Structure 1
Amino acid sequence: MSTQQNIPADGFTYTLTRTLDAPVGAVWRAWTDAGQYARWAGAEPGSVEMDVRPDGAWKATMVTPDGTSFPLTGSYLEVVTDRRLVVGMDVPGRPDPAVMTVELDAKDGDRTDIVVRQTSPTAEECDMSEQGSTMLLDSLTAFLASPATS
């Protein structure tokens, strides 16, 4: 995996890239199917709801490794099947959502390049988001390698 951080005029941005040993359709379903997402992303079973279309809403109750639960909500800002997912995440006390972009690129041999990018207003928030996204990509990689992935 490679990682990169830039400091644009409007905030701090990280970019994570990885090549996954799964076809692009399987990676897309993992991000957009509520049941699959709950299994790999650390959400409470039954808490994930997804209306995967522009302006469609999503919500999930995530569980941290120490067992703490916290709800997340947001909307889909852009949806291009098997290619690009732009997700807005509601941030308490802020008028604008945090925005995460997930880009997929199909490769030969049923592999997929994935790029995850997010901009945050502070370096600290950017670091925290990058750590969370790195954990997500680690979990996604393990999930896609599992023979139980459907």
Structure 2
Amino acid sequence: MIRHATFVAEHVYAVPPVEVFSAWADPAVKARWAGGPPGWNPRLDLDFRVDGVERCHGTRAGGPAHTVQARYLDIVPSKRIVYSYDVLLDQVRVLVSLATIEFARHGPGTRIVHTEQAAFLTEDDISQFEQHIRAALKSLEAELGGQAPSATGRDAARPLGGPAPPVTRQDTASLLGGPAPSAARRDAAGPLPGGEPRP
């Protein structure tokens, strides 16, 4: 039986939208914050454009091979990213989702609103899914240089229409952007992807 879940995760960052957006658009930067936990050693291929494809593949020691395949449906620089993706464990598709990332000014910083509409295709435990998305947004915060301005308590995932069903196998979490082996701050020199100047 397919299980469905829709939830929203919000997080506030201390840097402006152009900087946060760049962390999603730049392949080298995204590999640092969305590369999974230490020891997973993923390979990320990112073609960040409308109809572009992103593929992340890796294997945790003693675990199944993980593959995330995404297609970008809509991109408005520093405003929104919409993409669909699936997750495979040892070539078994366990999850399909539509994700929307919105970027908005929040004082001197940025609020991200991350909305997921997911279909879980196996009977595995799905309780780690929302927690993993929150961990990914925290990892992005470390990449961007630390603590954000006060988010008035709105930086946690919250289900829509009541609690989400128990959310895919704990191993699936590592595919969806857990803390990378290194959260080193990226070099602030030079233009952002697409030639957009830095603030």
Residue by residue, what CA displacement relative to the aligned partner does 1:37-90 show, whole Å, maximum 9, x if unpaired? Answer: 0011125778222222221111123576x7856221121011111111112112
Q: Does 1:72 align with 2:65?
A: no
Question: Which residue of 2 is the match for residue 119 of structure 1?
Answer: 117
May I ask how many residue pairs the two structures share in their alignment?
A: 136
Identify which range, 69-78 or 40-49, moves more after superposition.
40-49
Question: Which residue of 2 is the match for residue 148 of structure 1?
Answer: 185
Task: Kindly indicate whether structure 1 or structure 2 has the higher relative contact order, using CA contacts under 8 Å at least 6 residues apart.
Answer: 2
Query: Cα 1:131–1:62, aligned 2, differ >3 Å: closer, same or farther?
Result: farther
Q: Is contact 2:67–2:87 with CA below 8 Å preserved after alignment?
A: no
Distance in 2 (alpha carbons) for counterparts of 1:46 and 1:22? 27
Question: Which residue of 1 is the match for residue 6 of structure 2?
Answer: 13
Distance in 2 (alpha carbons) for counterparts of 1:79 and 1:51? 12
Identity of aligned residues (%): 26
Question: Which residue of 1 is the match for residue 129 of structure 2?
Answer: 129
Q: Is contact 2:97–2:119 with CA below 8 Å preserved after alignment?
A: no
Tell me the TM-score normalised to structure 1 length: 0.75
Q: Is contact 2:41–2:58 with CA below 8 Å preserved after alignment?
A: no
Distance in 2 (alpha carbons) for counterparts of 1:118 and 1:91? 14
Question: Which residue of 2 is the match for residue 5 of structure 1?
Answer: none
Distance in 2 (alpha carbons) for counterparts of 1:67 and 1:31? 30
Distance in 1 (alpha carbons) for counterparts of 2:53 and 2:129? 21
Q: Is contact 1:99–1:119 with CA below 8 Å preserved after alignment?
A: yes
Q: Aligned ranges for residues 27-46 of structure 1 at < 5 Å?
A: 27-43=20-36
Computed over aligned residues only, the root mean square deviation of the Cα atoms, in angstroms, reads 2.9
DSSP-derived class of the 1:90 partner: strand
Residue by residue, what CA displacement relative to the aligned partner does 1:94-126 show, whole Å, maximum 9, x if unpaired? Answer: 6x94111111002332x000011101235x64x
Q: Does 1:107 align with 2:100?
A: no
Query: Cα 1:73–1:15, aligned 2, differ >3 Å: closer, same or farther?
Result: same
Q: Which runs of 5+ in 1 are unaligned?
A: 1-9
Give the structure with the higher percent helix: 1
Q: Pick one of 45, 69, 73 that aligns with 1:49.
A: 45
DSSP-derived class of the 1:35 partner: helix
Question: Which residue of 2 is the match for residue 4 of structure 1?
Answer: none
Larger radius of gyration: 2
Tell me the TM-score normalised to structure 2 length: 0.58
Q: Is contact 2:83–2:100 with CA below 8 Å preserved after alignment?
A: yes
Q: Is contact 2:59–2:66 with CA below 8 Å preserved after alignment?
A: yes
Distance in 2 (alpha carbons) for counterparts of 1:134 and 1:27? 16
